[in-house]
């Protein structure tokens, strides 16, 4: 026992010493390798290369479906297609409040789709409760307030038609007084190039966003695909983009088919998440 133990004890250092040396060498080499890796990855050139390889984050895109409030079929579409979307509900209709509530429950951001006088009025009529030129300040503000109050849970509003009103500074000031009071943003559908909404919004402290693309001037799948590509390009170059569509059956069918892929290329957002224009 003693002999064997002494022998093994005596032999151990001779056999273990090279192992120990090797271990120390490996640790040192490992440390050196780790230092080289850390040092290289921390160098600005490497960091730049790494950033260039990193794919750009998907740009934010807000899609708003206008002209809601006529019936429940379209609401069912939103309940089935759960994307981060926005919808503008016409005020004062029998289905207005119910539509707004169900949309909110489906995670949709709700706007009041305020009817406003177009330039070719009365050939085109924005419908009951519309904001018309020639209305006195008190009446106009009352009408706007009633419209907003008929759409429960709204975050903002946009114009239904409105090419005449959005070009009139005085009327836009009155409308924005009420928007400010209610804490609402305005999405300018830009039905006229002469719109003064952005300027008046700045003056009144109301956030004004504007529509960049109408997705369904032709409610047809191929056209909508092209417009979604255009929206993506705009969002990439401008930082974000807002697109408007309408609840035509063809549009909704095309969006249901195309949003799965589109929503992977962009970050679909609510309008309230977007910054006002600089
Ligand atoms: Zn409309």
CA pair distance 147, 91, nearest whole angstrom: 5
Give distance in angstroms: CA of 67 to centre of ligand 1.
Answer: 5
Give distance in angstroms: CA of 66 to centre of ligand 1.
Answer: 5
Give distance in angstroms: CA of 239 to centre of ligand 1.
Answer: 26
Name the pTM for this structure. Answer: 0.80
**What is the DSSP annotation of 159-207?**
EEE-TTGGG-HHHHHHHHHHHHHHT-EEEE--S-TT--HHHHHHHHT--
Give distance in angstroms: CA of 200 to centre of ligand 1.
Answer: 22
- Which of 183, 238, 232, 237 is CA-nearest to residue 210? 238
pLDDT in tens, the chain (278 residues): 334 443 333 344 444 445 544 444 444 454 444 433 333 444 445 555 555 667 778 999 999 999 999 988 899 999 999 999 999 999 999 999 999 999 999 999 999 999 999 999 999 999 888 999 999 999 999 999 999 999 999 999 999 999 999 999 999 999 999 999 999 999 999 999 999 999 999 999 999 999 999 999 999 999 999 999 999 999 999 999 999 999 999 999 999 999 999 999 999 999 999 987 66
Give distance in angstroms: CA of 166 to centre of ligand 1.
Answer: 14
Give distance in angstroms: CA of 159 to centre of ligand 1.
Answer: 7
CA pair distance 153, 106, nearest whole angstrom: 13
Q: Domain limits of the chain?
A: 2-53, 60-273
Give distance in angstroms: CA of 163 to centre of ligand 1.
Answer: 12
Give distance in angstroms: CA of 174 to centre of ligand 1.
Answer: 21
CA pair distance 115, 226, nearest whole angstrom: 29
Give distance in angstroms: CA of 128 to centre of ligand 1.
Answer: 13
| Tokens 């981060």, located at residue | 84
Contacts (Cβ under 8 Å, ≥6 apart) of 277: 198, 208, 209, 210
CATH number of 60-273: 3.20.20.370
CA pair distance 169, 203, nearest whole angstrom: 11
Give distance in angstroms: CA of 257 to centre of ligand 1.
Answer: 23
CB–CB of 151/100 below 8 Å? yes
Give distance in angstroms: CA of 15 to centre of ligand 1.
Answer: 88
Give distance in angstroms: CA of 97 to centre of ligand 1.
Answer: 17
């Amino acid at each position: 026992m003693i002999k064997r133990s002494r022998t093994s004890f005596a032999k151990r250092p001779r056999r273990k010493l090279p192992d120990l040396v090797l271990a120390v060498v490996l640790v040192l080499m490992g440390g050196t390798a780790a230092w080289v890796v850390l040092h290289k990855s921390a160098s600005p050139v490497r960091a730049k290369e790494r950033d260039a390889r990193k794919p750009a984050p998907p740009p934010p895109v807000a899609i708003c479906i206008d002209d809601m409030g006529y019936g429940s079929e379209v609401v069912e579409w939103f309940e089935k297609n759960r994307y981060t979307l926005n919808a503008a509900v016409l005020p004062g209709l029998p289905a207005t409040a119910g539509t707004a509530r169900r949309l909110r429950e489906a995670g949709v951001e709700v706007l009041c789709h305020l009817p406003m006088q177009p330039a070719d009025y009365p050939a085109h009529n924005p419908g009951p409760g519309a904001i018309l030129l020639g209305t006195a300040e008190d009446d106009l503000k009352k009408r706007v307030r009633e419209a907003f109050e008929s759409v429960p849970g709204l975050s903002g509003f946009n114009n239904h038609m409105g090419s005449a009103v959005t070009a009139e500074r005085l009327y836009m000031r009155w409308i924005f007084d009420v928007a400010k009071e209610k804490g609402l943003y305005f999405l300018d559908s830009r039905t006229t190039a002469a719109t003064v909404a952005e300027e008046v919004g700045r003056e009144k402290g109301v956030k004004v966003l504007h529509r960049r693309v109408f997705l369904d001037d032709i409610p047809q799948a191929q056209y909508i695909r092209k417009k979604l590509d255009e929206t993506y390009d705009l969002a990439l170059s401008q930082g974000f983009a807002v697109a408007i569509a309408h609840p035509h059956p063809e549009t909704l069918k095309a969006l249901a088919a195309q949003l799965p892929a589109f929503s992977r290329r962009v970050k679909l957002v609510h309008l309230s998440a977007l910054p006002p224009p600089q």
